[in-house]
Each structure stands twice: as C-alpha cells, then as structure tokens.
Structure 1
C-alpha cells in the first residue's frame, strides 16, 4: 500500500466510525451540579451530567414545544429524571417533605435543598435552549413564622404571559412529580398544603 492509499483508507474508517461528530460527543464536557442535601445545603454531592443526560433532557422537553402548559408537564418529567440521577450520587432516596430530626442526615432534603437543586436544573435546561416558553426566575418563599406559617422555598419559572409558576419538589419523594402551580396560589398556602400536584408524569 502506498502512503496515499493508507491515508485514504484511514480516512474512510474514521468517517465510518463517526468522524468529527464522534470526536465532539466523546470530548463533550460533563456539566457539574452540586446537589444540596442534609437540610440547608449542609452537604453537597457533585452530579456530572454528560451527553447522555443532555439527550435525555432534550427528548423529554421536545414534548413541551407545543405550548407553555405542555412545557410545564415536560419540566415535571425532567425534574423526576434529574432527581433519580441525583439519588445516584447521594446514595439515598429522599423522603417527601422534611422528616423531623433529619437535619445533617446525608441524602435527606428540606425545602432549601429541594428548591436549590430544582433551580439548578432549570438553569441547566435554559442554558441548553431547552425551555422555549418559560424563563427561570429567582427562587421565592412564603411564611415567616410570625404569620403562623413556617418558611418554605421553591424554584420559580415565568410563562410568556408574565404569570409565575412554582416548581416545588418538596412534597414528593425523590423522583416523584413536583407541584407546578401559580405562584400566587402557592403563596397563600400553608407549608403542609400541597398544590394538588397538577402534573403526575409517568416516568419509566
């Protein structure tokens, strides 16, 4: 074989194997997100989201392109998948709400942990252009003890009509569907009142 023949053969094999596209996929850096747990982010475990996760989130969010409502349903599914990935690095499936006395227990989460983690996911999705109908807003809270309610935090998104919606994953066990309700409705509730879980996606 001449050098030219060898080069052409090598180029053909490289192209058939995926060529530059495969190189880019292999070289794509993982996105690291710190998963808060232990109440008040007492502990942080690093979750690396790689190309496989990117594809999974893209496949979930494609179902939300039709409308803001469809996108909120897709966001609920994305949160469920994300929490199952988070469980892989914490090693514990968090229980719904906040278990009394579980402060500083690794893997258990309060509303600060939950809202911080959900907010991080939403911003990850936004950076990848996967949120077509919503913008990610700053986390919000309700209750301050003097009003007879415990403080409670949530992640927030804003729809094209300006209405803000909470994405509150505190009420469900890890991997369950988050509450997605209007912020105004959420603000009026007590901490133990779920938003009736508008969306309960079936995650396989």
Structure 2
C-alpha cells in the first residue's frame, strides 16, 4: 500500500469519524533490524520515522549533482544511521573487530557492519534517494588460505558500471565509512583502511 493510499484511507476513516487527518496517522515508521554481537548474533529494532526520513533526504540532496557527490552524501548518511543505531543498541561500537568480543551486545564485526550498511542503502534506494548508484549484493575478500582474514562489505554500482564498497568497519560507530573502488578494496589486507573518499 502506498503512502498516498494510506493517507487517503486514513482521511476517509477520519471524515467518517468526524475528525481531521494528520500526517502522524498516515506515515508509519520504517523498521530496520540492526545486527550486532558478531555474525548478527543479536538484532535490535530501529524504527526510522518522519524525522529520520527528512534528515536522510536532506543529507542525500547534497549528492544529487554527480556520482562522486552522492558517494560523499552516502558516507554522511551512514554516519547518521550509525548514530541512530547506537541509540537502540545502547553501545558505541569500537572500530574494527576485537577478537574475543563475540556475543557482546553492541559490538560489531564486518558481517554486522556490512549487513547494517546494506540495509541502509536499500532503504535509501526504496525512498528514491539514490540517483546515481544501484545497491549490489554484499561482497567479501580473503579466505584464510590466501593469508588474509575474510572481510565483508556493502557494495554500490555507479552509472559507469564501477562498483564501490561502503565499508564502515574501520571507523568507530558514527564515523565515515571507507568508500573505494571494489577492485582496489579486494587487493587490501583486512587491516588496511582505504579511506580515499
């Protein structure tokens, strides 16, 4: 059901009941499960309401001109989103994964980080806020036998077909993610941040 249909339906009910139509009745929150505890051991519900919609739309509006500008806006949107995620987990995730922190609420490994970032990117796409990029499937690098620890990231594709990673694992919660070309990211070791954005 579209937002307009919900508003019209709410309006019809309100008129029949003799009351006014309000935006609050017509616009339900959107929910994203925030993964944490390593490997999505825990999930906390984040409801994104009208205030979040407006904030994210404002952030993404700054990136309308070019794909490069949109990637910078995506970095700011991820920072905002992670601050909101902190409100529901109650913990500020540290940068990178700490060995031994598995099953600790609020702490995130690359699986949690990439899953959460992917969920945000898909939310932005559904809201029509991504003009220059399409959300791709998450990707990984390293498989131990090549001497690298496995590492996951969210991925977007630009109009020229180039894929970019949006990797929030390196920064503390609310920090700017690495946004670099997927091909460059694939060559790095797990501890090499690619903060080239």
Q: Normalising by the residue count of structure 1, what TM-score does the alignment of the two structures yield? A: 0.86
Equivalent residue number for residue 109 of structure 2 = 110
Instruction: Give 1:86 deviation, angstroms.
Output: 0.1
Equivalent residue number for residue 131 of structure 1 = 130
Instruction: Give 1:170 deviation, angstroms.
Output: 0.1
Does residue 85 of structure 1 match 2:50?
Answer: no
Equivalent residue number for residue 4 of structure 1 = none
Unaligned runs of 5+ in 1: 1-18, 200-204
For 1:69 and 1:119, locate their aligned partners in 2 and report how far apart those are by CA, in whole Å.
19
Equivalent residue number for residue 155 of structure 1 = 154
For 2:118 and 2:25, locate their aligned partners in 1 and report how far apart those are by CA, in whole Å.
28
Equivalent residue number for residue 174 of structure 2 = 175
**1:121-144: per-residue Cα shift (whole Å, max 9, x none)?**
000000000000000000000000
Equivalent residue number for residue 47 of structure 1 = 46
Larger radius of gyration: 1
Q: CA RMSD in A?
A: 1.2
Give the secondary-structure state (helix, strand or coil) at the position aligned to 1:48: strand
For 1:151 and 1:61, locate their aligned partners in 2 and report how far apart those are by CA, in whole Å.
31
Equivalent residue number for residue 140 of structure 1 = 139
For 1:193 and 1:178, locate their aligned partners in 2 and report how far apart those are by CA, in whole Å.
13
Equivalent residue number for residue 9 of structure 1 = none
Equivalent residue number for residue 58 of structure 1 = 57
For 1:24 and 1:129, locate their aligned partners in 2 and report how far apart those are by CA, in whole Å.
20
Instruction: Give 1:27 deviation, angstroms.
Output: 2.5
Give the secondary-structure state (helix, strand or coil) at the position aligned to 1:87: helix
Instruction: Give 1:198 deviation, angstroms.
Output: 2.6
Q: Normalising by the residue count of structure 2, what TM-score does the alignment of the two structures yield? A: 0.89
